[in-house]
Structure 1
């Protein structure tokens, strides 16, 4: 089996072969478990923080540093501080207001973002949990009975209805859905 790694790195992964969960845990441990597998049944690897299906490179030499790494190209911003320049499109009146703020546009935008993150932390956690649950559900259970209704219940925040709709689904799939949706039912 050869896979190429894509997507953002997560601390925890879950692997399914069909509807059976065969591995879960830190990325390095999951890769080691998958490399030891004797069968050739296809597996589906999911990032536990996003619910996204990801690909892994299971070749024994994968992940080894190359002999001569190329230096990263110089970018705009302050890379050593983690600052990356990006484009923001605003109306002229927005730019005028931002430029009148103490510290200028960048400081004002950072403050606005931090305030919004703090104020909406609960709502954002609910949304992230629902999206992760849906990504996993779509990838592994999209053809199971009541998938569409379960999706509607998930995004409507109807926990009892969601759980009733997925009650007949495979045990490992239900267990992973419960884990991913743990924060999906909290009122924002």
Structure 2
């Protein structure tokens, strides 16, 4: 899967945070550090908490060019729906060419019939339903994703630290004070990043 050049990541060397920020900046810091002897570098996606692999081959200029190319490709795919075509003709109606991800949805015939009868058709109705569900969710899905991201990060770096199981129990209980307290003696970079990912502070 191609890297998203706009996402932020964090690199750790052992228990110490090496760099955090845009993909390109962290990749360059990791490239520089990789040339030295020492602990392996782990790079974490700040959104998911998962370890990711970055292509650090070549020179720093090669890496910068690689991520700049990805960013340019990303800019090219962003469009404004009301923008006219280059020849001045107004843009035709219908599904935008870019920015829409096609996925398969399995429904019963009666559900397809109901969707087809909605204003704007099935796609617009599904988008409305998803947006309404997200609003009614009260942030629960976001909080769950944040806790899972913190768990992934901690599992990769802190599984051997004292009190790990108690920390994870506090994390999933949503007990911010206990979560922070039980990591008080841990390396500060691990503790601070786990708190940031969990969004409990």
Q: Is residue 27–residue 63 contact of structure 2 (8 Å, CA) maintained in 1?
A: no
The gaps in structure 2 that reach 5 residues or longer are 67-93
Aligned pair in 2 of structure 1 residues 83, 26: CA closer, same or farther (>3 Å)?
closer
Q: Is residue 7–residue 54 contact of structure 1 (8 Å, CA) maintained in 2?
A: no
Cα deviation for residue 121 of structure 1 reads 5.4
Aligned residues: 169
The aligned residue for residue 49 of structure 1 is 47
Taking structure 1 as the reference length, the TM-score comes to 0.77
The aligned residue for residue 74 of structure 2 is none
Taking structure 2 as the reference length, the TM-score comes to 0.72
The aligned residue for residue 30 of structure 1 is 26
Q: Could you give the per-residue CA deviations for residues 70-97 of structure 1, whole angstroms, max 9, x where no partner exists? A: xxxxxxx957232232111122332232
The aligned residue for residue 165 of structure 1 is 182
Q: Any residues of structure 2 matched to 1:87-126 within 5 Å, and which?
A: 87-120=104-137, 122-126=139-143
| SS across alignment from 2:43 | strand
The aligned residue for residue 16 of structure 1 is 12
Cα deviation for residue 173 of structure 1 reads 0.5
Matched, 1:153 2:180: no
Matched, 1:132 2:128: no
Q: Is residue 130–residue 154 contact of structure 1 (8 Å, CA) maintained in 2?
A: yes
Cα deviation for residue 45 of structure 1 reads 0.7
Q: Could you give the per-residue CA deviations for residues 44-89 of structure 1, whole angstroms, max 9, x where no partner exists? A: 1111222111111222234656xxxxxxxxxxx9572322321111
Cα deviation for residue 11 of structure 1 reads 2.9
| SS across alignment from 1:24 | strand
Aligned pair in 2 of structure 1 residues 109, 149: CA closer, same or farther (>3 Å)?
same
